[in-house]
Structure 1
Amino acid sequence: MPATLEDEWSGVTRSAVHLEMRDSYIRDDPGFIAWQQGRTAEAVAKYQGWTELMKQATARGVVVRRARIVSEPLSDYCRFEYDVTGPVNLAGGEQVRWLPRRRASDIALPGIDFWVFDGAHGKFNHFTGEGSSAGPEPFDDPGVVKLCADAFEAVWERATPHERYRPV
């Protein structure tokens, strides 16, 4: 496992896909709290390290795609994600799409959020029931990589690009 996020991303050469399926994540995240208090610019500023990391990756030619399966109407946390996606994710060069959960019911999905890097390996992102990070779990088994990559592509095809998605 790489020592830092920067180390992990330095090894990505072609692609990274990320599937998010929870309606709430780290509720004590300072960015989320700032957003809840109407301080969106401060919330965005908290993620500039991520934006810069994505700028570096996409400048090297890495295609970064993120899909979110969400319940509608959106939870407060997903509304926060929606509001910061432009100045954080898109500004870093990520492509982001949204899929209402009702439209995902016939897609076979892994039971947990994940990343797949270069179509060869990835990591599951474990969370507690309260949404706190419970740590990543790397994987490189070809069958698991295929399961995750296929699930991501099925969601991606059906999902709406961020620029056109209008949250309920």
Structure 2
Amino acid sequence: MNPVSKKLKPNNTRADGPAREEDEEDSEHERKSVEESITTQLKNRMLASGEWLRLQKILMVKLKGSEWEEQLRCAAETRALEPDNPTLTKLIHHLRPIAQNTIPSEIKHEISTSIEQFIRANIEEEDDDDDDDAADDHHQQRQQNNNDEEEEDEEDEEAMEEVV
């Protein structure tokens, strides 16, 4: 028999072909679901502890008055002046990826390092049952600091509304 003339079945007709692909898809979907769950839990913990707000403030301080801010402002003005007169929603949709992708790498690194430290501290905190009282004191102190910062944020938001 000539091996060249022999007809081959497509790979997906093998008994384990489609099933294996479905298993891989299920596994990938499950992995993404776990990642989303962990990300959501991390964000909730950061919000509850005030770390999210603290990192936002650091980011705003570092970016305010920087070249990044000027570039973003120019991109916003250019897009706003286009003939299709974009809505605010369209403008934000256009600017968000630009803003996220042009943050200077030093600032990204600093924020990433802070997030990593937060994660490590929280993992260690869960492992140390003996340190619950210290963690509670730390949490209460953070909450007090957050309350003070929230008052400042409200003032900042009111000032921003006046500008807009």
Normalising to structure 1: TM-score of the pair? 0.32
- Larger helix share, 1 or 2: 2
Larger strand fraction of residues = 1
Higher relative contact order (CA 8 A, sep 6+): 1
- Structure exhibiting the larger radius of gyration computed from Cα positions: 2
